[in-house]
């Protein structure tokens, strides 16, 4: 009986921990930053599935533009996510750090998205993109 109680308590604790780790809403936390080193970072990203932090150019219209970098994400909390920029970004340029999934592509673990495509496309929560806009310094 004692082993059953310990096993049941462990199962409840594990289930509670699992539920707590999956209850965080997807989000991107990032600030305006220098990109002089060719990298843009997010302090924390919560991803609903394995995927990508994709760096899009944007402007005052706040629409996602061309991709200028990306970094892999794992499901759950990701801390200090850094993407190497594939193009020059000047101080004052606006960048959209967006969560994309790992769905529909030909190869798992290979970023396959192009603007407007469905492969490795953006994640939406309640119809909204999961993203944060930062300005390069």
Give the model confidence (pLDDT) of 55-95 as tens digits: 999 999 999 999 999 999 999 999 999 999 999 999 999 99
Domains of the chain, first to last? 25-135 (2.60.40)
Q: What is the DSSP letter of 136?
A: B
CA 4 to chain centroid: 40
| β-bridge mates for residue 57, sequence order | 95
Could you report how far apart the first and last alpha carbons of the chain are, in Å? 63
Which residue in 135, 136, 129 sits closest to 27, CA to CA? 129
Determine the pLDDT at residue 110.
92
Question: Does the predicted model carry a pTM greater than 0.85?
Answer: no
Tokens representing residue 88 in the block: 């020059």
Q: Which CA distances in Å does 124 have to 30, 49, 64, 116, 127?
A: 18, 12, 13, 14, 5
Are 81 and 45 a contacting pair, CB within 8 Å? yes
Determine the pLDDT at residue 117.
85
Flag residues of the chain having pLDDT under 50: 3-21
């Amino acid at each position: 009986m004692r082993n059953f109680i310990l096993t049941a308590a462990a199962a409840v604790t594990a289930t509670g921990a699992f539920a707590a780790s999956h209850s965080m809403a997807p989000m991107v936390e990032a600030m305006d930053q220098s990109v002089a080193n060719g990298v843009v970072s997010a302090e924390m990203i919560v991803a609903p599935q394995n995927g990508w932090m994709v760096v899009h150019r944007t402007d005052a219209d706040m629409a996602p533009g061309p991709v200028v970098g990306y970094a892999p994400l794992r499901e759950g909390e990701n801390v200090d996510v850094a993407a190497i920029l594939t193009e020059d970004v000047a101080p004052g340029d606006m960048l959209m750090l967006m969560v994309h999934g790992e769905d529909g592509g030909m190869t798992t673990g290979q970023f396959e998205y192009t603007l407007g495509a469905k492969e490795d496309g953006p994640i939406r929560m309640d119809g909204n993109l999961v993203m944060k806009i930062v300005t390069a310094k």
